[in-house]
Amino acid sequence: MTAIELRPATADDLPDLCVLHQRAQRHDGVPQVIQLDELEEELDDDHVSLAHDVRVATVDGSLAGYAYTFHLPSEVREERCYVFGEVDPDWRRHGVGTALMRWAIPRAETQLRSSGRSLPQYIRTDSYDFIEGAHQLFASLGMTVVRYTDELLRPLDDLPPVTSPASARILPWPDDRDEEIRLAKNEAFADHWGSTPTAAQHWEQMVRGYGARPDLSFIAVDDDGRVIGHCLNKRFEADDGLLGRRDAWIDNLGTRREWRGKGVASSLIAHSLHAFAAADCTHASISVDSENPTGAAHLYRRLGFEPQHRSITHEIALA
């Protein structure tokens, strides 16, 4: 029987964890290459403690996997704690993933219950649909499938024309309005499944952190200059060699409810696609909840995006 040991992570572990994560991505065919800066940013968060919320799995002293929990406190709608991690391909089917998840699920439950709030509470994790072992593991631990997220792709040719919707303007992402845009984003996402208001700290990370490209991003404003929509875009150059193309990501797109159906989102996307092409990218990617209530999936297809990959979200709902 494999003797698996779990211990808290330290900052010194991060380079080795990044290498392990990259090995797992290559083995599984994941269309991404995580970088050390990216992993460090994910784990350098007020809601993640290396000592309490991250566990490293070793077998006979060899690094075999890791997992961490990411608790998202919320005052409205729901409260979530996500579980992330990887197992080295050489140690799959040895109980490493099970050991890590059996630590992570109780840890996530503790974090959620310690908030003292009466909101619905969920432990969630996700993985690409083609990583069958992960889904078998999640199911064996009592997690159920609750959502599907599709990744779509389009080449940067035959671009839609750049236009502005009536009574609105599309502007380059400003340097001094991040807080105003955050509040607009939170309002726009209020009816999206699994969404709770983004805190200022996490918005700063999204807008200015790893991969963020505000220089390729846009906002929409009405005649009074009020933010009515946003399109925050990202670029991950480390993925280019693996993909054989240069993708830019439409990472976070939202429109205030009263402006939906008036061409705001399509205008923001069109401006983004032209900016991507001018930056020498070859393709644009976007992800969408398969049950998005705004009709986003239909809009993206109409603008030339086609499905490439799908991920599956599993959860445990706390009683």
Look up the CATH number of the domain holding residue 196: 3.40.630.30
Q: Is residue 37 part of a domain?
A: yes
* Terminal Cα-to-Cα distance of the chain (whole angstroms): 35
- Which of 142, 173, 195 terminates a domain? The answer is 142
What's the pLDDT at 293?
63
101 in the same domain as 234: no
107 in the same domain as 170: no
What integer is the mean pLDDT of 9-35? Answer: 98
CA torsion 15→17→19→20, rounded to 10°? 170
Say if strands 121-128 and 79-87 run parallel, antiparallel, or are unpaired: parallel
Give 2's pLDDT tier (boundaries 50, 70, 90). Answer: confident
| pLDDT at 34 > cutoff 80 | yes
For residue 191, the enclosing domain spans 152-310
196 in the same domain as 295: yes
What's the pLDDT at 57?
98
Poorest-pLDDT segment among 1-5, 77-81, 163-167, 264-268: 1-5
Residue 88 to residues 82, 149, 211: CA-CA distances in angstroms?
Answer: 20, 25, 25
102 in the same domain as 227: no
Q: List CB contacts of 115: < 8 A, sequence separation 6 or more.
A: 73, 79, 121
Q: Is residue 318 part of a domain?
A: no
Q: Is residue 220 part of a domain?
A: yes
Query: Whole-angstrom Cα distance, residue 163 to residue 226?
Result: 19
82 in the same domain as 115: yes
Give me the chain's average pLDDT, please: 96
185 in the same domain as 48: no
Cβ atoms 268, 218 nearer than 8 A: yes
